Structure 1
Amino acid sequence: MTTEVRSLREFKMPDVGEGLTEAEILSWYVKPGDTVTDGQVVCEVETAKAAVELPIPFNGVVEQLFFPEGATVDVGTVIISVAVAGEAAAPAAVPAPAPAAEVPAAEAEPERREVLVGYGPRTGGSQRRARRTTTTKTVTASKPAPAAPAAPVAPAPAAPAPVAEVPVGERPLAKPPVRKLAKDLGIDLRAVTPTGPDGVITREDVHAHAAAQAAPAAPAVEVTEVAAVEVPVFAPAAGDVRVPIKGVRKATAQAMVASAFTAPHVTEFVQVDVTRTMKFVRRLKESGELGRDVRVSPLLLVAKALLTAIKRHPEINAQWDEAAQEIVIKGQVNLGIAAATPRGLIVPNIKDAGSRTLSGLAVALGELVETARQGKTSPADMQGGTVTITNVGVFGVDTGTPILNPGEAAILAFGAVRELPWVHKGKVVPRQVTTLALSFDHRLVDGELGSKVLADVAALLEYPKRLITWG
């Protein structure tokens, strides 16, 4: 037949760098049969750092999606194949997507590896992932099941291997908003009966499951007996809920454990009269002198005060280099702001924050917070931080002992601002007071340096006019 030559091109999960080896597919924007063009976004994935949209690097027609939404996929694994027209390719290339053979073939290809902006291709580690990817694809491609058991290396466990991977391949299908709703309600999606097309769980399914849990007849027999006889108030409506540790939460947990057991933490506290700072914030809001659309908050003044203190004591903006046995004093301050998001705690940072004016810092801070709330923080925005602020005051918390962000020497906790009795000009009067807590790595920041930095931040917040004279 004289027809147009077509071949299959495979798009692999990109290498996101920073030691990350997997990502979860949040949503597909295309389906088999759709036409795609070079640079078109085909899916959104979540790594341990952030949610990222992936563009396809060639033109063609979508042939197959290898993983459903909600699946966790290893870096380097083929996630989509596209039929490309006009390329001189051998006919044998068409059946290449067969699950048992595609991973070794893809591993051997020297062609272009897709990477996210800002990261280079990853080297090494392919042999471990090749074996695991093959097992996953054996489960995902349910049609050619008879050929799948031949892929595992070990002959004895060939039959049980697919069973072990089934939970990954059969992860409940649901859109990101539905997953968030289930998380907020404390519901395990694996227990919800889907009614949507192709087994997708809808918002109505989650609400119906929640209502069934709350109904009096819903608890199991043993729970009903306990509720009737012993502890009716505290009897749970359902069993334990297990939440997979993955993505941002998994990365945060690993980083905090590494930080807590690597850097010797010291935390110092100080109470500050911030009445003048709060008045200054109100004046900036009312006057609009920083810009009409610029959001002004006490956190902005805290950030400016910390940056000014670091300018006076640059040794605290440092990093411990274990390999070289050196203390590296950083040339610029990349100010991290801890942000609670639906995907967990992340710490994006403002690059070279120390060189920004108050207005420029306000704009950057507003953009950082808004991007984090939308879940669109890029991996690059969370790299290279040198010092961090965590605003626990927004939760009504007075203070805490913050754990250092790995690789940084200091973190400042900004507590709630409360009206308290305070000695002011020889009289006890109500004043706006907050508590600051500074944790630092005692390997490179001694008590004197940490105390000076914290005292400077307190002094600047007590008399914000000093931000001009000291800066």
Structure 2
Amino acid sequence: MPDVGEGLTEAEILKWYVQPGDTVTDGQVVCEVETAKAAVELPIPFDGTVHELLFPEGTTVDVGQVIISVNVGGGAAPAAPAAVAAPEPAAAPEPVAEAEPEGRQPVLVGYGVSASSTKRRARKASAAEPAQVAAPAQVAAPAPVVPGQLNGHGPATGRPLAKPPVRKLAKDLGVDLATVTPTGPDGVITRDDVHRAAAPVAAPVPVVEPVPVAEAPAPAAAAVPAPAASSDARETRIPIKGVRKATAAAMVGSAFTAPHVTEFITFDITRTMKLVEELKSDKDMAGLRVNPLLLIAKAVLVAAKRNPDINASWDEAAQEIVLKHYVNLGIAAATPRGLIVPNIKDAHAQTLPELSRSLSELVATAREGKTTPAAMQGGTFTITNVGVFGVDTGTPILNPGESAILAVGAIKLQPWVHKGKVKPRHVTTLALSFDHRLVDGELGSKFLADVAAILEQPKRLITWA
């Protein structure tokens, strides 16, 4: 599992696109994983034949763990596990590390094949799994890699074959895997096998590891459906992982690190709404999406130029305020996997047509679940549009590392005093949350007032730019 983002430690395997025996080519996408930042497709960097998938879909895997083995030597891997039954005479000086046969090397996605050595790194023994190292005279010589033998998990080590979720189930049910008769492919123990082994001892126990509704079942347990909740169940438990887990940690850290202050302003946005309709028929905006958010984003960029200290961050380690002379404009987007905030790089330098194009691409990519980790890094200011849900306003929490965030409320026709008379006008409310360590009330108020003033009189996009 490669680190597909900056400093990520784990990722969940969402979907495998290949199976053992499939032929793969350099650059072919073999699986999709979800990190704490986004869903990412992993390509394979070499040609060969898939030998084994070491983790099923839905498993969270630490960065650096082997997730797929590929035979790059051109020969097909042995199909029957019987090839493992007769170990060769002892000759290996390193009992834990395994040497691969010449010309055939199962390798890890993203790391390529080592040309200097065919010896594999020694596998660490966990606390729950003592090292299976016998006296040198009893150690079998390295044998060709076959299904069930990768990473020392095969019969040569005496350890029963089972996927991580099945091992956890056996532990929860108090079942010794060494006593279980396997029925899965290549002698792999399945969930059904564990349940059968547990049945004579005690009544069936519910599986304690909940499975998300949208998550595909593990291949080893495909024939055994997970225990379903009864029709009158009062609770449903959903594992906290991926984007939602990262978002929760970031929001807790932000809320209890940066002292938040939120200010509100309600104003007449009718002229901006009229300008939106005019721009839709403008030849320079032909084929582009024009909506109120586009002009609100432009107003934020102009107001940030007039109040540059709003576009900053707090460096706790260096005890410095870092002023940003660029704006990477973040747009909060709700996706099936949770809230993400991709940003438009150097939005301050874009024309209105360019900004429209960037917004459309950002939203489309987020909806497809294809936002990359890089697209969500380096943001300096965020807009969250709660108005699309019919909400008037809110008190948004800062995106970590930023000094301010603007919430846009619903735009509604309301009675409003205009030129001395009460008339129906388009009215909205903006809410600005800011970090009071570096943005005081004066700066926050000036910035928010400038955004509202621009949207009340959009000609200021020209006069103030």
TM-score by length of 2: 0.72
Q: Percent identity?
A: 65
* 1:308 maps to 2:319: no
Task: Give the structure 1 partner of residue 6 of structure 2.
Answer: 18
CA distance in 2, matches of 1:272, 1:321: 35
Sort the Cα spacing of 1:268 and 1:83 in 2 relative to 1 into closer, same or farther, 3 A. same
> In structure 1, what residue type is equivalent to 2:18?
V
- Report if aligned partners of 2:409, 2:430 keep a CA contact under 8 Å in 1: yes
* 1:114 maps to 2:119: no
> In structure 2, what residue type is equivalent to 1:338?
A
> In structure 1, what residue type is equivalent to 2:267?
V
Deviations 1:37-61 (A, max 9, x none): 1211111111111111111111111
* 1:396 maps to 2:384: no
Task: Give the structure 2 partner of residue 317 of structure 1.
Answer: 311
Deviations 1:327-377 (A, max 9, x none): 010121000000000000000000000000011000000000000000000
* 1:84 maps to 2:72: yes
CA distance in 2, matches of 1:56, 1:435: 49
Q: For 2:25, which of 37, 46, 49 is the aligned residue?
A: 37
* 1:461 maps to 2:461: no
CA distance in 1, matches of 2:128, 2:348: 45
- Report if aligned partners of 1:66, 1:140 keep a CA contact under 8 Å in 2: no
- Report if aligned partners of 1:420, 1:432 keep a CA contact under 8 Å in 2: yes
Q: For 2:60, which of 64, 72, 93 is the aligned residue?
A: 72
CA distance in 1, matches of 2:4, 2:457: 45
Q: For 2:250, which of 235, 248, 255 is the aligned residue?
A: 255
Note the C-alpha offset of 1:102: 7.1
- Report if aligned partners of 1:273, 1:433 keep a CA contact under 8 Å in 2: yes
Note the C-alpha offset of 1:141: 9.7
Note the C-alpha offset of 1:259: 0.2
Q: RMSD in angstroms over aligned alpha carbons?
A: 4.2
Q: Structure 1: where are the runs of 5+ without partners?
A: 1-12, 88-93, 106-110, 116-125, 151-158, 173-187, 220-236
> In structure 2, what residue type is equivalent to 1:399?
T
CA distance in 2, matches of 1:299, 1:254: 28
Task: Give the structure 2 partner of residue 284 of structure 1.
Answer: 279
Which structure has the highest helix share of the two? 1
CA distance in 2, matches of 1:65, 1:242: 28
Note the C-alpha offset of 1:286: 3.1
Deviates more, 1:459-468 or 1:407-416: 459-468
Deviates more, 1:276-285 or 1:398-407: 276-285
> In structure 1, what residue type is equivalent to 2:159?
A
Note the C-alpha offset of 1:270: 0.1
Q: How does 1:306-385 map to 2 (within 5 A)?
A: 306-385=300-379
Deviations 1:111-156 (A, max 9, x none): 99938xxxxxxxxxx9999849989x99999874983389xxxxxx
Task: Give the structure 2 partner of residue 51 of structure 1.
Answer: 39
CA distance in 2, matches of 1:149, 1:198: 14
CA distance in 1, matches of 2:124, 2:383: 37
- Report if aligned partners of 2:44, 2:110 keep a CA contact under 8 Å in 1: no
TM-score by length of 1: 0.72
Note the C-alpha offset of 1:103: 11
SS in 2 for 1:259: helix
SS in 1 for 2:446: helix
> In structure 2, what residue type is equivalent to 1:27?
K
Q: Runs (4+) of structure 1 moved beyond 2 Å?
A: 16-19, 100-105, 111-115, 126-135, 137-150, 159-162, 169-172, 188-192, 194-202, 286-289
Q: Structure 2: where are the runs of 5+ without partners?
A: 76-82, 85-94, 101-106, 112-120, 131-147, 162-166, 175-188, 193-209
Sort the Cα spacing of 1:396 and 1:469 in 2 relative to 1 into closer, same or farther, 3 A. same
* 1:415 maps to 2:409: yes
